Amino acid sequence: MTIHIGAQPGDIAQTVLMPGDPYRAKWAAETFLKDARLVNEVRGMLGFTGTWQGNRVTIQGSGMGMPSLSIYANELIRDYDAQTLIRIGSCGGMQPQVGIRDVIIAMTASTVTSPSSGIFRELNFAPAADWSLLRAAVEAAEKKGAKTHVGGIYSSDVFYAERPDLDKQMMRHGILGVEMEAAELYTLAARHGRRALAVLTVSDHLQTGEALPAEDRERSFGDMVEIALEAAFA
């Protein structure tokens, strides 16, 4: 057990999917895993372990934002020896060709600041996905016929941003979407020699103002979860 994860030794699989919302973790575990059981409920941040096609998988909520994800990813890596960590979550589209319900596979994750920023001081570290996971996710998405985009995303440290000028520069430089966790996950994976990837579903769009109704979000996230699982065990 750790401060934030109440799982016993052996309860956590080496492959962990990390949605931000603990109830999305519950939905994904009940929908995609066999014999899923609750292994963590500390502070309501639910985690479940089961199997997918005979492979052990944990789906653990990470909360919103890089500071929260950093807590769970650090403990999963340090105390439970997680080797593969894949963020599954929603994002806002930032390019005209990116549509609602499309899948974004994040090759890189830019950010203004993260919990790890202080380590690098004057260096602008470039957090990137694990190549083997990235390649496998793209192949899985193509096999499924999911409308998918591969490239850079922006991990914001705030939800209610007040920097339209920064959004404009992100769009100008081809950033596909914005979310709040991947840059720190990629940085921690690099630091500890683990594999990390973010597979995201576009739930709203910064340019068009479109947004998925809350009741439609879970039904639209199935492709993302399946792509992540197939990539993890390719």
According to the annotation, is 89 in a ligand binding site?
yes
Q: What is the mean pLDDT of residues 145-160?
A: 96
* Least confident residue range of 10-19, 97-106, 157-166: 157-166
Provide CB contacts within 8 A for 209, sequence distance 6+: none
pLDDT reported for residue 219: 65
* Distance separating alpha carbons of residues 100 and 76, to the nearest angstrom: 32
State CA 173 to chain mean position distance: 22
The rounded percent of the chain whose pLDDT value lies above 90 is 95
Strands 47-52 and 195-205: unpaired
Q: What are 60's strand-pairing partners?
A: 47
* Distance separating alpha carbons of residues 123 and 75, to the nearest angstrom: 26
Tens-place pLDDT, residues 124-140: 999 999 999 999 999 99
Known catalytic membership, residue 102: no
Q: What is the mean pLDDT of residues 22-48?
A: 97
According to the annotation, is 116 in a ligand binding site?
no
Tens-place pLDDT, residues 165-187: 999 999 999 999 999 999 999 99
According to the annotation, is 4 in a ligand binding site?
yes
Q: Per the residue annotation, which of 11, 81, 130, 204 is the catalytic one?
A: 204
The arrangement of secondary structure in 15-232, i.e. its CATH architecture, is 3-Layer(aba) Sandwich (3.40)
pLDDT reported for residue 213: 83
Q: What is the mean pLDDT of residues 206-213?
A: 90
**If residue 183 lies in a helix (H) or strand (E), which one and from where to where?**
helix 182-192
Q: Per-residue pLDDT for 161 more than 90? A: no
Dihedral class, residue 54 (left if φ above 0, else alpha if ψ from -120 to 50, else beta): left
The rounded percent of the chain whose pLDDT value lies above 70 is 99
pLDDT reported for residue 166: 95
Residue 201 has which token pair?
Answer: 């579903």
Q: Per-residue pLDDT for 7 more than 80? A: yes
pLDDT reported for residue 218: 66
- Structural domain boundaries of the chain? 15-232
According to the annotation, is 181 in a ligand binding site?
yes
pLDDT reported for residue 220: 73
According to the annotation, is 204 in a ligand binding site?
yes
Write down the mean pLDDT value for the chain: 96
According to the annotation, is 195 in a ligand binding site?
no
Of residues 88, 86, 83, the one with CA closest to residue 200: 88
* Distance separating alpha carbons of residues 210 and 196, to the nearest angstrom: 29
Task: Tell whether the torsion through CA atoms of 83, 84, 90 and 93 is positive or negative.
Answer: positive
Tens-place pLDDT, residues 56-74: 999 999 999 999 999 999 9
